[in-house]
Amino acid sequence: ADDRFVEVTKITSLDVLDGVDFETRFRLEECGIFDVQNLATYNPILLHVETPYGIYQCIDWIGQAQLCHIVGLERFMLLREINIRTIFDLERAIDSIYSPPQFDDIYISILMAPTDNLRRIADAGKTQFLMRDKQGSRQVSVDEYCKWARELISTNPELLSDAAEHLMCWITDDLHVRRLRRLWTDISDSLEPGSNYFEDSRRHPRNAALYGNRRQNTPATGLVAGDGI
């Protein structure tokens, strides 16, 4: 049997998710959810019905699991430390029309960063990446390839934004993510617009003109990415 990749293909425990402790993990396992991939693909409404947890909590856990499953544990932990907890946090940081273009640069650096797991996979498979530059095609290490790819899309700000948004597009074009987004949007639409800001917020339409807030016409979303619902 080919067991070269056993050490780099282990399941990711639910313990890595914010808010999931031993007792919570035990209850989730009763539903057949044993790892992050299982939770990422689970129906949030069924999870709410089959467990004692609220729908907002279920949405948050599944949103975290989807981000972790898609970008990998190492990048997931890094993103969480800079305020990106769920798949929708990352989507809004990069894809929102209201996000500064600098955020494309900030987060694409993490998404394209070489990880220890990537290095171990390449080492286990005795694989090198093929890179083409002015000297022609040549084989390079994981780190050199990731550095080349990052520099390739950074030749101008417009290309960087296009690349970041393209990456975000296929990351979130997943049936499970789309189902969760639909539920998120339906709940968001059911909340009053005022749930998106406080009375003294610069985003409040009444205050926007006073402060010249460029986001004064931002549609109220109700559920704010990263609010820990």
Q: Hunting for tokens 């987060």 — which residue is that?
A: 107
The strand ranges marked E within the chain are: 129-133, 136-140
Give which of 113, 11, 9, 15 is closest to 64, Cα–Cα: 15
What's residue 212's pLDDT? 61
Give which of 11, 9, 7 is closest to 29, Cα–Cα: 11
CB 86 within 8 A of CB 115: no
Summarize pLDDT for 28-67 with one digit per residue, the tens. Answer: 999 999 999 999 999 999 999 999 999 999 999 999 999 9
How many Å apart are CA 63 and CA 69, to the nearest integer? 10
Summarize pLDDT for 134-163 with one digit per residue, the tens. Answer: 888 999 999 999 999 999 999 888 999 999
What's residue 129's pLDDT? 93
Instruction: Please say if the pLDDT value at position 92 is more than 70.
Output: yes
What's residue 222's pLDDT? 45
Mean pLDDT of 79-100: 92
How many Å apart are CA 18 and CA 65, to the nearest integer? 10
Instruction: Please say if the pLDDT value at position 3 is more than 60.
Output: yes
Mean pLDDT of 185-201: 85
What's residue 49's pLDDT? 96
How many Å apart are CA 216 and CA 188, to the nearest integer? 18
